[in-house]
Amino acid sequence: MEVVMHEASTVNDENNSSESGVKYNGGSVEKPVILPQYEGTERSTFTKLEQTIDIQFENICYTASLGFRKGTKQILHDINGRFPPGQLIAIMGPSGAGKSTLLDILSGYRIRRVSGTVRTNGVPRNLKTFRKSSCYIQQDDRLQPLLTTSENMQIAADLKLPPEINKTEKNKTINEILKLLSLDKTARTKASGLSGGQRKRLSIALELVNNPTVMFLDEPTTGLDSSSCSQCIKLLKDLTLEGRTIVCTIHQPSASLFQLFDQVYVLAAGRCLYQGSTKNLVPFLEDVKHPCPAYHNPADFVIEIACEEYGSEVIDEMVKAADNGKSLTYFNKDVYPALNRYLGGNATTEENQEDLNDETGLQATSSMNQLKVLLRRGYIKTKRDQTLTYMRLGVNAIVGLMLGTLYWGAGNDGTKVLDNYNLLFSILMHHMMSTMMLTILTFPNEMSILIKEHFNRWYSLKMYYLSVTLIDIPISVVCCFIFSVIIYYTTGQPLEEDRFTMFFIISMLVVFVAQSFGLMVGAVFNVINGTFLGPTLSVPMMMFAGFGVTLNDLPPYLYWGSYISYLRYGLEGIVDAIYGMDRPTIYCPEDQYCHYKYPKKFLQDVAMKAGQFGNDVIALLITLFFLRIVAYVLLRYKLMAVR
């Protein structure tokens, strides 16, 4: 049976080669015809490649850290390989074999603890140059869920295409890609409403905008049904016809899916068992005296071998026969001219590499254009986000009404000064917890999208961070203003414009500081850990705020904590706004005793000096800028740490 399968595969390959018209002659690629599913459409202009890229890697090793004081483990063991242009290549192997690690290294995503050499077109790879002509599509579909298919494509085009390309040309490119990937009918559908196969195709479409020469995909068939899997792989096959090098990791494909790949690279425990065409896998197994059984999928059989189901000595024999990836014996004959083109290393000279290094950045557009596009995307998301916008507005209004009802008129009643003091601290707690926790809960989801887009050169981290900072200011100001107006007037605080302005300024600064604190936590930790750490780290802020235990009662060895608590400055500033500025005697009913009808007496008992508002604002601003800078540094560290 294996002979019949092998012969059928050979016939299919020959037919596909003759129908597509792909001929490699010195590395050049003749224009292919379109696959049957795209007949009747014009060939997309975005698919015209200026140069193809041949990837060769030698003695690649990767050592992973097992954690603090747990040592290291070598994942890849001096493996070698060659991925020619115009090929759809599958990296196969059981779980833990090193498939995703190898893909990360070849794409340039993983750069630490890596040794060995990666060559492109015969010379050592310049990573900066290589990243400009390649893209990496990770396993999970990292899309903006609130944007439609068309809007996602527009944002990608505006960020990834150079400024000299006008809007008409961009729209033409977008329409061609959507039509090619059968996404034109979902152009107005939000990404959250797409099916699994459509989401996968949209992920590919976004990276096709700038016409990459090399594409890396991690498990592109994960989560898809058999029909969607076949459509996805056929699409990738079609994209190779112009000379693209497309490399995928795939766990265990069916026989029909396996035959769609041109080349397969099989890993077992970080070593190469086989490298060559899919149709030559069966002859290879026969050559190493371990033939594929009848009625058996060769892909399944080679994975069984890689899992040591037939003993570790079989793996050793196959690694030796493949020379750990150095052997090119089992490649298709029609790719040899393309391989020979780069054996002398004449395709790209060192001078050309240096010329490419002279480019200032990895991004295709200027920083100002990146900021403008990111702000436009942020506006669309804010307008449609029920949690970050509408629920946030509603919660501030509802909490303001609830607290206003509970503390009705407390601000102008001499018998309720302590109640009003509790209210002021409750206001700060609301601003701190609601803003901080919202950021901690939502930003980790944004992190996965940031990692993908930043690595694929959509924008710089500085412009992304600036856009995140700016886009949230309007909604934060509106929410804080609604809450402040409701709470201020329902609780009977002094009806003076200056006092309300001071009250609002302190509230806004606490909101921004808490948001920065949440961003700092959310940039490093996932939702679960962040949800625990955020409130936990906020407890010292409350301890040293001067509420409950006054600042005068703090032990000398703990007094330093009051200087780093932004709630201390917030409470001091908001109390000064309500009871400072030589406020006159507070109204006291004739039949009641009002211990704090004199504001100066109250300020003295809570150990807060009047006239500190300016210092409190300065302290909050310094804290705000410090936390924003720390959050940026941590975000940058996180992006590097994952690599």
What mean pLDDT, rounded, does the chain reach? 84
Residue that has been written with the tokens 């949209």 in this structure: 202
Residue that has been written with the tokens 């570790």 in this structure: 312
Across residues 575-584, what is the average pLDDT?
Answer: 90
CA distance 439 to 638: 17
Q: Which of the two residues, 227 and 520, has the higher pLDDT score?
A: 520
Q: Which of the two residues, 23 and 423, has the higher pLDDT score?
A: 423
Phi-psi region of 102 (alpha: psi -120 to 50; beta: other; left: phi over 0): alpha
Percent of the chain with pLDDT over 90: 41
Q: What pLDDT score was predicted for residue 39?
A: 36
Q: What pLDDT score was predicted for residue 112?
A: 85
Nearest to 547 by CA among 429, 384, 388: 429
Domain ranges of the chain: 2-133+212-353, 144-211, 383-641
Q: What pLDDT score was predicted for residue 341?
A: 64
Contacts 24+ apart (CB under 8 A), 170-176: 172/45, 173/44, 173/45, 173/46, 173/209, 174/150, 174/209, 176/42, 176/44, 176/45, 176/46
Q: State the DSSP code for 387.
A: I
Q: What is the pTM of this model?
A: 0.82
Percent of the chain with pLDDT over 70: 88
Residue that has been written with the tokens 């795939």 in this structure: 250
Across residues 66-80, what is the average pLDDT?
Answer: 86
pLDDT at residue 195 tops 80: yes
The three-class DSSP label of residue 215 is: strand
Cα separations (Å) of 86 from 90, 235, 344?
A: 13, 14, 20
pLDDT at residue 181 tops 90: no
Nearest to 163 by CA among 362, 455, 370, 358: 370
Confidence of residue 174 (pLDDT cuts 50, 70, 90): very high
Does the domain at residues 2-133+212-353 carry the CATH identifier 3.40.50.620? no
Nearest to 579 by CA among 503, 489, 483, 511: 503
pLDDT at residue 170 tops 60: yes
Chain centroid to CA 418:
48
Query: Which tens digit of pLDDT belongs to each residue from 252-267?
Result: 888 888 888 999 999 9
Rounded to 5 degrees, φ, ψ at 259 are -70, -15
Q: What pLDDT score was predicted for residue 244?
A: 87
Q: Which of the two residues, 597 and 476, has the higher pLDDT score?
A: 476
Q: Which of the two residues, 328 and 33, has the higher pLDDT score?
A: 328
Across residues 100-129, what is the average pLDDT?
Answer: 90
CA angle 525, 531, 535 (to 5 degrees): 115
Query: Which tens digit of pLDDT belongs to each residue from 126-142?
Result: 888 888 889 998 888 88
Q: What pLDDT score was predicted for residue 473?
A: 93
Measured over the CA atoms of residue 182, residue 184, residue 186 and residue 190, the dihedral's sign is positive
Tokens for 438?
């919202």
Question: Strands across the sheet with 134-137, in order?
Answer: 134-137, 214-218, 245-249, 88-92, 263-268, 271-277
Spatial neighbors of 254 by CB under 8 A, at least 6 apart, are: 226, 229, 297, 299
Helix residue spans in 213-268 (DSSP H): 226-239, 255-258
Q: Are strands 114-120 and 88-92 parallel, antiparallel or unpaired?
A: unpaired
pLDDT at residue 9 tops 60: no
pLDDT at residue 346 tops 50: no
